[in-house]
Amino acid sequence: MKTIRIMTLILLAASLVMAAESTVNLDRCAVLNDPGDAGAPSKIAMHFVMLDEIQNREVIYSALSFTIPDLKLNRDANVEISLYPILEDWSESDIKYDEITDNLSIGSFTIKLGATNQFNIDIAPYVRQIIEDGRSNFGLIGVVEVLDDSNIQLPDNSDAQIMNSAEVKIVYK
């Protein structure tokens, strides 16, 4: 049994040694607030371009990291962002609050505001679908919700801050 564990560790280490890592930034970002309902959660539309060097590779890990603006909430408030794939192409000028997204979330992350405004969401399943299954990459919509409280809308002009802080890390072999 001990030999099997050692061999497994050696194989895992060998596969990680052969891995490479790439980081890409967002090429589009838009903060979306429902114009008819100030209590509705804000949404963040985000898009990144997949690098050619990653095509036909095995994705080991991928994460989307970004920072949201400071929110005027209780420091103990929990904020959750759930990501959904967008199903059609868009631009910052034409995307709407009710943009068509896949019903299935591809990841979510919750933070306590007193600790950080940084989100790190595992998006490996989504990136694998793009690389390995040929899924179209129209980007993601993040739904921003304050848990156990009323929702607050992100400032409409916070898209540049989010875009500048965002990166997608992809580890592949």
Q: Write down the mean pLDDT value for the chain.
A: 86
In a domain, 126, yes or no: yes
Q: How does DSSP classify residue 20?
A: E
Question: Averaged over 74-95, what is the pLDDT?
Answer: 89
Give the Cβ contact number of residue 136 at 10 Å: 12
Encode 40-69 in three state secondary structure: CCEEEEEEECCCHHHCCCCEEEEEEEEECC
In a domain, 13, yes or no: no
Q: Which domain holds residue 73?
A: 19-172
In a domain, 3, yes or no: no
In a domain, 69, yes or no: yes
Q: How does DSSP classify residue 114?
A: T
Q: Does residue 115 surpass a pLDDT of 90?
A: no
The pTM of the full predicted model, rounded to 2 decimals, is 0.83
Q: Does residue 45 surpass a pLDDT of 90?
A: yes
Query: How many structural domains compose the chain?
Result: 1
Q: How far is CA 124 from CA 69, 106, 137, in A?
A: 25, 9, 13
In a domain, 145, yes or no: yes
Dist CA 164 CA 29 (whole Å): 10
In a domain, 11, yes or no: no
In a domain, 159, yes or no: yes
In a domain, 9, yes or no: no
Q: What is the phi/psi pair of residue 11, to 5°?
A: -65, -40
Q: Please give the pLDDT value at position 101.
A: 84
